[in-house]
Structure 1
């Protein structure tokens, strides 16, 4: 077979790969499997317990109301942890918590969580079904610019087209002593290496950008915005990815590659190469027979 024919066949096979974001139901299930198999939420909760109280120590000084803006608040689990820390820091102070979230399904889950959570007195909730850029456009058009005491963007900057403009805009909304908390994957994580090496071989989509803390800190430096960056260790158990036909492994593969049915649609040589790489020390460690992918997170705190 001539080389050109091999390339054409590979191209045709590759073209059958489609973005995981084209199948919302499957994406949601893959994300759920990722959370079940990773220490992502535990890592965030550890940060909230140990670091957040110091970070928010002055955001409510001399204020009768603390205004918090959650960008991409999802189903609200982490948001409520943040609110509990702010409440503990400023007992009795009214908190106005506004949420910008494009998924109606996630907003519904967030409202259900609030309804069954006690100890939320003094907290007023409002939800806006929109993306961060839609929020930005609405605010600018109406010239309805509020200042916020705490803004957080947790694992959402991947879905923003113009990140520097977004950072600059939200930084301009900070009140006195206010902070922005951003959580993204670390530049030291396996994600960084995976995206850099294989991003161009995987389905390109308009929904998701490959961005890590290394990219963000460079952007913040060029914007002249002050920040602190904390790295926390996290991992994702991908052992099932190396068991043929394992359903959990198949879904984790989809999440890792952002490809719908990756193992069935990827060219065999690409699949074999990624499979081999993901077991290498730069991507994962082996502990007690498990393959743990490096899911390290960065917590970036921006000052007003």
Structure 2
């Protein structure tokens, strides 16, 4: 087995650029917007009702778009409630983007911001070493369990930080989707070997085995990968880098790996080809976990 590809995460500027291109070609953000508009407040109502202040923790918050959507949705229904928002994000470029978004978004004066430029592992280590006792009403980790060595232990740690009636909301790839099948087939070739490949079924399996209470919601999502098959197309190459997490994937991947991935991406089990457009299925699941008992 060859060495893993160089990671896109090591180049913060390119990672930010690739993410933006990916979101421009994906329904990912729209799927989360639908979740926020239709389900989020009901899920959180038992946690926030009657409270004048809540503590929120965002893990791997990226440029902050989703965080602000979540906090704004809570504020809309609870306009007198203040928020202490703790942000954990290891990429300085994304933290800068987040801060810029905050400065440009009116009406966020009910939020106090705490910035942590560190990985989730560094945050956990720092938290334990300092003996911090703060509890949170709402913790979210969207699309970040792929970047920890022991995702079950990570989930358990953050559950331990929840207040009574608190909620931990996780989003993770559905293993039965096209992207999930790609990861199952080739993930060992392009992921960091220290990290554990995880999809929604695996998360629910260890929650079930621990008798943990949770609810799950499948969110349909797709990615237009047509440009990935156009030689030399920069946006297509950036989308591939997000999908594989491989920095300069088309240049760094061995020919046989690149050929195998491109063939699988185009197969009917993973994508739909219609009217010259190739669409990868990329459904994900939102899992709402209750406080650690």
| TM-score normalised according to structure 1 size | 0.88
Equivalent position of 2:83 in the other structure: 95
1:234 touches 1:296 (CA, 8 Å); kept in 2?
yes
Q: Deviations over 1:240-299 (max 9, x none)?
A: 112222222222222222223333343433333322221112111123321000111111
1:271 corresponds, among 244, 258, 271, to 258
Separation in 2, partners of 1:23, 1:209: 22
Q: CA deviation at 1:140?
A: 1.8
2:56 touches 2:136 (CA, 8 Å); kept in 1?
yes
Where does 1:121-132 land on structure 2 (aligned, <5 Å)? 121-132=109-120
1:20 touches 1:259 (CA, 8 Å); kept in 2?
yes
Q: CA deviation at 1:216?
A: 1.0
Equivalent position of 2:232 in the other structure: 245
Is structure 2 residue 151 aligned with structure 1 residue 163? yes
Is structure 2 residue 136 aligned with structure 1 residue 184? no
Separation in 1, partners of 2:153, 2:279: 35
RMSD over equivalenced CA pairs, Å? 2.0
Give secondary structure in 2 for the equivalent of 1:69: strand
Is structure 2 residue 49 aligned with structure 1 residue 61? yes
2:89 touches 2:119 (CA, 8 Å); kept in 1?
yes
Separation in 1, partners of 2:69, 2:4: 42
Q: CA deviation at 1:15?
A: 5.8
Separation in 2, partners of 1:30, 1:94: 34
Compare 162-171 and 61-70 and name the one that shifted more: 61-70
| TM-score normalised according to structure 2 size | 0.92
Give secondary structure in 2 for the equivalent of 1:218: helix
1:159 touches 1:207 (CA, 8 Å); kept in 2?
no
Distance 1:17 1:103, change over 3 A: closer
Whichever of the two has the greater Rg, that structure is 1
Q: Deviations over 1:4-60 (max 9, x none)?
A: xxxxxxx8xx66953333444333322222111111111111111111011111212
Q: CA deviation at 1:208?
A: 5.3
Q: CA deviation at 1:103?
A: 1.8
Equivalent position of 1:4 in the other structure: none
Distance 1:147 1:19, change over 3 A: closer
Compare 143-152 and 119-128 and name the one that shifted more: 119-128
Equivalent position of 1:106 in the other structure: 94
Separation in 2, partners of 1:16, 1:303: 36
Is structure 2 residue 118 aligned with structure 1 residue 118? no
Give secondary structure in 2 for the equivalent of 1:56: helix
Give secondary structure in 1 for the equivalent of 2:279: strand
1:57 touches 1:89 (CA, 8 Å); kept in 2?
no
1:287 corresponds, among 270, 274, 287, to 274
Stretches of structure 2 that go unaligned for 5 or more consecutive residues are: none
1:72 touches 1:102 (CA, 8 Å); kept in 2?
yes
2:4 touches 2:190 (CA, 8 Å); kept in 1?
no
Separation in 2, partners of 1:72, 1:147: 18
Is structure 2 residue 123 aligned with structure 1 residue 135? yes
Stretches of structure 1 that go unaligned for 5 or more consecutive residues are: 1-10
Equivalent position of 2:161 in the other structure: 173
Distance 1:97 1:18, change over 3 A: closer
Distance 1:55 1:38, change over 3 A: same
Compare 236-245 and 15-24 and name the one that shifted more: 15-24
2:150 touches 2:195 (CA, 8 Å); kept in 1?
no
1:21 touches 1:207 (CA, 8 Å); kept in 2?
no
Q: CA deviation at 1:132?
A: 1.9
Distance 1:207 1:124, change over 3 A: farther
Give secondary structure in 1 for the equivalent of 2:232: coil
Give secondary structure in 2 for the equivalent of 1:18: coil
Equivalent position of 1:35 in the other structure: 23
Q: CA deviation at 1:235?
A: 0.5
